[in-house]
Structures are given as structure tokens and as C-alpha cells.
Amino acid sequence: MSQSLAALENGGVRRAVHVRGFALLLLSFQTLGVIYSDIGTSPLYVLNGIWPSSGPLPSEEDIIGGISAIVWSLTLLPLVKYVFICLNFGTGEGEGGTFALFQGLYPRKEHDPEFERSLTKESIGRASRTSSAKISPRLRWPVLIWCLLGTSLTLADGIFTPAVSVTSAVGGIAVAKASVQSKVTPISIAFLLALFLVQPFGTARLASVFAPVTSIWLLLLGATGIVNIVAHPGICRAFDPSRAVLLFVRTRDYDLLAGVLLAVTGCEAVFANLGQFNMASIRISFSFFVYPCLLLAYLGQGARLIRDGDAVFSNIFYQTIPGDANGPLFWILYVFAILATLIASQAMITATFSLVQQLVNMKSLPPIRMVHTSEKIQGQVFIPSVNWILMILIIVVVAAFKSSTALTDAYGFAVATVMFSTTILIAVHMRYVKYWPMVIGLAYLVGFGFFDGLFWGAALRKIPAGAWVPLMIGVILMILMAFWTWAKGLEDAFDGANRRSLRRFVVTNPGSDGEPEVLQVPRDDIAARIDDSITMESSQSQKVSAPTTYYLAANESYAEKTVEYQKLARIPTCAVFHKLTGGKGVPHSFVAFVRQWPALPEVIIFLSVRVIPTARIAPEDRYVVDKVRSVDGFYAATYNLGFREDFDVKIDEIIEQICTLEARVDPENASERVKWIRQAAATPTHIVPGYHVMSRRLSGGGPVPALIDWLRALLIDSIYRPLLNMFPDTANWSGSADEIIRVGVNATI
């Protein structure tokens, strides 16, 4: 049994890959370049973020208190909260992050129950059924908005991470050569510009050096930290948490927490990247390597700041490097600092691409064109529009803020909000997904919500100083995603509610010589017949029938129980009609197609796309094919898609399954039948509905319904309809555009 099918039969959750010994150590090593590149570059700017060089030099007790706050923030949030708690709440195939947590609470239901009953028990259709958590449907939109806010702020974080880290790393050159201080911003922009220009070539080669470079960088941080601690061993008093508490009691400076927050930026990546590794590898790499190196680095910087004071205060990281300011160790660390920040930027850019792909697949963003840059790793995706928009925004941010100190004021807000969002969602998961006692969820929410709330409040105070920028970007993205999710949901609801029954639409020999026939349909049975679905029959009982004449029900009058018919021709081709949503009946594209062109292709495939709450689906579980009993040559196929995969329908693979099915149904006539199917399928055509959406009017009079009607018309007719035409659902389909026919359908939503 394949891994993805086994995962689905286990409730849609892939079991963690169990590796031991050297394999586990290798996997732990690989996490260094992907997960910790952001949090690993924080020592470049944290202490100057707490105490800007333009301000007064802090006292020894204040420095010890500040280092203590950093030590315990790293211990409580990345180590305890994320590594030891959040990693247990992976959803789907072990995926993490705010949007994946929402999928755990409200899994998408795109299956057709009538269709599933016809499938064999080995098929993926039956295995993919998952039960929703027992959380009120009324809370779906509030929870979704909260998740979308966290997701949008993560995207905003993708703008500030490269800007802050690269600017801080490049700024170190002014320590050795003060004359180039004014050129730090142009040099930073040049590095970032080069980074974005190489994105279309893919990240496979660059990724191969991520882990070694990051590991050397962290080892250098730890080694320099040990040397600096020797200069003032008294800094070890920072392990006493009371020193951090006394700092804020003594100074009453709540804004210091906004600087401490910078030490834990990137900890969300520990949870978000769970699907690429496993719990054991992340816990080993962070607990035994990353965490100790970071502690040593911050303790060392604090020790040198106490001992040397003003001599190192202007740029604490670079001026606390042991040795001369122009010595070999300085330049080694400078080179690795730039490499580490570029890796952190690359990791954030790649994560942004992956997150946008996930949002597009879950219909929370318009279908933006994507390009896969690797033949082996499907997750390596390049999104041109996102890449260039991200590049422009980052360059504008670097040029506008001009210094790493100003950038850090705006940086922490997005991080704090995402951490707070994760805490709330994890607490809900404890109760409604894990079914733990409510007291455990409340204890977790109160405990970690208190610390997250402190950081979030401190970051909120930075809004006038620049945090309004990521907040504004996040709110705009959240509104866009919420709007698209709402409008797309209305369109899908229309599609599902207005399906036609194939047996009521295309019939065989309705009367003698094709004359109209009076159908004796009981009035009470009419609604059931209209809503009837495509009906499948067992493969064992299906027989190849002789050529049959089919007719289109051109004019139906159920009240009078009369139906007029029009004869349909069969044409030697293959048509794939896409069911864009789940539900019963044939897709609108088929109804509109036959109305406009009264003909039936010899091979017709009704293709449903099902997004499974797992990241990846194995190739052998990709398609499920069965026959339609009503009309000869009709087939139904389900395309199973992981929520992190791209849309790439392989018609050849579906045809192969159809031929295999026909050979099993009727072995005697299989060869002739298969030959006929292959000839018809030589030039397949994809047919999709081209919706012309219109806002429906609400019933009732009065100013409130009129205002709602006006607002709905503005959003749907004036905004959603043009965007729907700009971003068609076929944007990410592989193959030629000549293979796609769009059939117009008026949709009142």
C-alpha cells in the first residue's frame, strides 16, 4: 500500500517517518539550512534592537536583565512551546502553520457520497473521507479570519525578514571601513536584487549548501560567545529569571520587550516546516545545537558590552567579534553573516511561494500562474508575479527605512501576531481535535497566551514607529483572501445547487421514431429525479452495448409532464468536462456545451478535483475512474490532489485506467474497445464553465436589504467578476491553451 493511501486510511494524517541512527542525524542536519536560518541570524541585530546605539548605554544590571529576558524567551517560546508542544499538532501529512491548523478544524469536503459508494474499498475515494472536528460551524468564519490574518502577516514577514537580516549583515562593513557607511543601503539592495533575479532558476543547487553554511555560522556564533563569556563570566547570572523581571520593574520600560522579541523571530518556522522533516529531527537539531549556540552568542555579546561599554555599543555584534576589527576572524564572520542572511531570505521567499501555492489550492487566493523548477521535488515552485512584487516591496522598504535599527521597529509586529494566533489555535485543537480536557487547553492558552500577549502588546506600541507597514500589508492581504474565499464559496455553492441529472438530460430512444413522449412521472417524484446524481454501476455487470441513438431533452415542462427531444450525433473525439466543485449531477459545462453544440463526443470524462487534507498524493493513488451507466462511453474520474500540489491533469493516465477498466469488464471485446478509446482520446479537449457571475437580490424591502444588495453588487459585479476573468481557473493547467474550451454560464450568486 502506498504511503499517501495508507495515510488517508489512517484518517488523513501521515504517520511520522521513523528513522534512527545516522539517518536521523542526517535529517537533523538538513533542518539547519531550512528551519533555523531566520532565528539563527537574529544575533546580528537583537541587542541593538533593545538598546539602539543612538540611546544611552545601559547599566550592567540592565544588560544582565536584558540577556536574561532573551535566554528565557528562547527557552519558553521556541524550545518549550514550539519544539516540545506545537510539533505534536501537525495536521494533514504532518504539516504545521496557522492555515494548516484551520484545515484540521474545518477539513474541506469535496467528495460526492453517491460516487464514493460506487468505488472499490481499495480506492482513495473511500479512504479520503475525514470527519470534521466537533466545533460549531458558526465559528468557521471568525476562525478563518483569524487564520487568514496570521497567514497574511506571515506573508508580510516575508518582506521584512530579508530587509532586516541583509541590511544588518551588510552594515557590519562600516565597523572595518567607516567610509562606506553611507553605501550600506545600496549594497543591501544590490544583494537582494541579485537574490530575486536568480529565483526563476530554482533553489535546488543553492539549497544543497544551506545546511553546511548555517551550521558553520552557528558554530562560529557559539565559539565567539564562549570566548566573550570568559571576558566577563558574571554574565551567567542572566540564567536567573528574576533578573529579567527586575529589569522591567526597575526601568518600567515596556518597549524593551519589542527588542527582546527579535530574538525569537523565526520560531514559527519550527512548526510550519514540520511536514518537511519530523519531530525527532527538529527536536534534536534545536535542543542540542541551535539553542546552545544562540545562548552562547547572546551571553557573549552581553559580556563584552558590560566590559567594553561605549567601545562596542554602536554595532554590538560586529564589534564584539574577538580580535582586531579588520582581522581574519572578523572577515570570516562577515562573509558567513551575509551568506546566512541570504539563506534566511531565500528560505523566507521559498516559504512565501509555498504558502501562496497552498492558499491558491484552497481557493483563498486567485489562481496565480506557478512554475515548478524541479523535476523531482514538487514543492520547489516559482511564482513570477509574487517574486517580482516581493522584490519591489523589499527594495522599497530597505530604501525607505534606510537603517537596520529603523527596520527592527517594524519587524516584530507580524511575528508577535502570528505567535499569538498559533497559541489560540493550538488551544482550540487541544479541545476539539485531540479531545483533551478543557482545563489543559485553558492552561496552555493562559500560560503561553500571557507571554505572547506581552510581546504582542510591546510590538503594538511600535505601530507609530513603523510597525504600521506590516500591519497594513497584512490587513490588505487578509481582506483580499477573505473576499476571494467568500465569493468563490458563493460560486461553488451555485455550481453545486444547480446541477442537472444526466438521465433527465440525455436519454435513449424516448419514443417510437424519436417522437416526443408524455412521461408519466409522479408529481412527488419530480424533485428527486431532478436532483438525481450520475449513477455508477459495478464493473462486473457492465457490458459493451450496440450503437445507440441519444436525444437531448430540449424543452422540459415538469408541471405538464412533457419533454421535447433533439437527436444528438456522436463525434470521434474525447472531451473532459471539469466538475469544479463536489456534489451531484453533471457539470454546467456539459449542459451548456450540449445545448450549444448538439453532439456527444465518443469518450466523455467527468473530472472532479478533490483536494485531500494531506500535502502530497502518491502517483498510483492520483486518479480513480469508473463507468457511467446511463450513457455508453461516459466515464467519471476523480483527480486527488494534495493541498500543497499543483494542478496537473495527465489525461493519458486516465485513459490507461479506462482501458484497464474496459478490459476487466469485457475481456472478449476489450482489444477492439480499447483501440476505439485510444483513437478517440488522441486529441482530448478540456471543457470548463466560463461563469458570468451576477449578484442576486435579497428578498425583503427596507433600507438594510437595499444597502446589502448594493454592497453585494459592488463586490460581485464590479470587483469579483473582472478578477475572475483576469485569473481563470485554468491559469495553472499544464498543456496548450488550445486544448481548453470555455462554455459560458450565467451564474446568479
- CB-side neighbour CA atoms (13 Å) of 375: 0
Give me the domains of the chain, ranges plus CATH numbers: 3-106+121-489 (1.20.1740.10), 498-748 (no CATH)
**Centroid of chain to Cα 88:** 19
End-to-end CA distance of the chain: 43
User: Is residue 256 within 8 Å of residue 247, measured between CB atoms?
Assistant: yes
Provide, for the chain, the percentages of residues in helix, strand and coil under a 3-state DSSP scheme, each rounded to the nearest 5.
60, 10, 25
Return the closest-CA partner of residue 72 out of 298, 301, 280: 298
Instruction: Give the C-alpha separation, 172 to 48, whole Å.
Output: 13
Class of residue 641 by CB neighbours under 10 A (exposed 0-12, middle 13-18, buried 19+): buried
What's the number of CA atoms in the CB half-sphere (13 Å) around residue 537?
11
Q: What is the distance between the alpha carbons of residues 435 and 193, in angstroms, rounded to a whole number? A: 48
Inter-residue contact 93 to 14 (CB < 8 Å): yes
The C-alpha atoms of residue 257 and residue 259 are separated, in whole angstroms, by 5
Element spanning 292, H or E? helix 291-308
φ/ψ region of 441 (left if φ > 0, alpha if ψ in -120 to 50, else beta) reads alpha
Report the distance separating Cα 366 and Cα 355, nearest Å.
Answer: 13
Residue with cell 430540449: 554
Nearest Cα neighbor of 594 from 683, 502, 532, 701 is 502
Q: Using alpha carbons only, how large is the chain's radius of gyration in Å?
A: 30
Of 350, 261, 309, 40, give the one whose Cα is nearest residue 169: 40
- Residue 415 in 3-state DSSP? helix
User: Measured between alpha carbons, how far is 126 from 121 in angstroms, rounded to an integer?
Assistant: 6
In terms of phi and psi (left: phi > 0; alpha: psi -120 to 50; beta: otherwise), the region of 323 is: left
By residue count, the chain amounts to 749
Cα–Cα distances in angstroms (integers) from residue 214 to residues 284, 303, 347, in the given order: 16, 24, 12
Packing angle, helices 140-170 and 98-105, rounded to 10: 160
Q: What is the per-residue pLDDT for 9?
A: 44
For position 553, what pLDDT does the model report?
59
Contact yes or no for 343/36 (Cβ under 8 A)? no
Using an 8 Å Cβ cutoff, are 100 and 92 in contact? yes
Q: What is residue 509's predicted lDDT score, i.e. its pLDDT?
A: 61
Strand 562-579 relative to strand 550-557, pairing: antiparallel
pLDDT at 714: 93
pLDDT of residue 60: 95
DSSP line for 313-339: HTTHHHHTSSS-TTSHHHHHHHHHHHH
Cα dihedral sign, 349-355-356-361: positive
pLDDT at 621: 83
Pairing outcome for strands 506-508 and 550-557: antiparallel
For residue 642, what are the β-bridge partners?
612
Mean pLDDT per block of 10 residues along the chain (749 residues) reads 44 50 83 86 92 92 96 96 88 65 72 39 38 70 87 84 86 72 85 86 61 94 96 94 95 91 87 76 93 97 95 93 88 92 84 81 84 55 87 90 73 84 91 90 95 91 84 91 93 80 72 39 31 33 44 50 68 84 75 82 87 72 84 87 71 90 83 86 84 82 83 93 84 65 84
Q: How many CB atoms lie within 10 A of CB 529?
A: 14
Which pLDDT value is given to residue 478? 93
Phi-psi map region of 309: left, alpha, beta (phi>0 left; psi -120 to 50 alpha): left
